[in-house]
Amino acid sequence: MNSDLLSFFFKRVSEAFLTLLGLVILTFFLMKGLPGGPFDHEASLHPLVREKLAQAWNIDGSSWQQLASYVGSVLKGDLGWSMNQPGRSVMDILRTGWNQTVILNFVAMLVVLLLGTLFSYFGFLGEGKKLGAVVDSILVCLISLPGLFLGPILIWAFAFELNWFPAAFLESPLHYVLPVFTLALRPAASLARLLLGTLRDLKNADFLRTARAKGLSPSEVFWRHALRNSMVPVLTYGGPVFVGILSGSFLIEILFSTRGMGAAFADAVAERDSTVILGLTLVYGALLVGVSFVIDLLLRWVDPRIREVS
Interval 20-75: pLDDT, tens:
999 989 988 887 776 666 665 555 665 666 666 666 666 666 778 888 888 888 88
What is the pLDDT averaged over residues 270-281?
84
Report residue 258 CA to chain centroid gap.
16
Residue type, 149: F
Separation of alpha carbons 174 and 184, rounded Å:
16
Secondary structure percentages of the chain, helix, strand, coil, to 5: 75, 0, 20
> Is 118 among the domain residues?
yes
> Is there a contact between 79 and 24 (Cβ–Cβ < 8 Å)?
no
Which pLDDT score, from 0 to 100, does residue 56 have?
62
As beta bridge partners, residue 89 has 81
Whether residue 40 is contained in a domain is answered as no
Where residue 129 falls among pLDDT bands split at 50, 70, 90? Answer: confident
- For residue 71, the Cα-to-chain-centroid distance in whole angstroms is 25
Dist. CA 124–CA 62, nearest whole Å? 61
pLDDT tens digit sequence for 174-208: 888 899 999 889 989 988 888 888 887 777 777 77
Average of pLDDT values for 248-269? 80
Instruction: Quote the percentage of the chain above a pLDDT of 90.
Output: 2
- Residue 309 clears pLDDT 50, i.e. is over it: no
Q: How many CB atoms lie within 10 A of CB 189?
A: 23
What CATH number is given to the structural domain containing 212?
Answer: 1.10.3720.10
Number of independent structural domains in the chain = 1
Mean pLDDT of 300-309: 57
Residue 188: C-alpha distances to residues 121, 155, 201 (Å)? 13, 19, 20
Can you give the pTM of this predicted structure? 0.76
Any domain includes 234: yes
Cross-strand partners of 81: 89
Per-residue pLDDT band at 94 (split at 50, 70, 90): confident
Is residue 277 situated within a structural domain?
Answer: yes
Looking at this protein, which amino acid is placed at residue 175?
A: H
* Residue 263 covered by a domain: yes
**Which residues span the domain enclosing 234?**
90-309
Assigned domain for 140 exists: yes
Exposed e or buried b per residue across 161-183, where buried means at least 16 C-beta atoms within 10 angstroms of its C-beta: eeeebbbeebeeeebbbbbbbbb
Tens-digit pLDDT profile for residues 99-122: 888 888 889 989 998 998 898 888
* pLDDT of the residue at 115: 92
Specify if 84 maps to a domain.
no
Q: Which of 93-107, 155-169, 217-231 has the lowest mean pLDDT?
A: 217-231
Full DSSP string of 164-195:
-S-SS--SSHHHHHHHHHHHHHHHHHHHHHHH
Domain-embedded: residue 203: yes
SS3 of residue 215 by DSSP: coil
Residue 61's pLDDT is what?
A: 66
At residue 276 the predicted structure's pLDDT band, cuts being 50, 70 and 90, is confident
Q: How far apart are CA 178 and CA 175, in angstroms?
A: 7
Residue 19 in this model has a pLDDT that exceeds 80: yes
Q: Long-range contacts: 42-50, Cβ < 8 Å, 24+? A: none
Phi, psi (deg, nearest 5) at residue 89: -85, 165
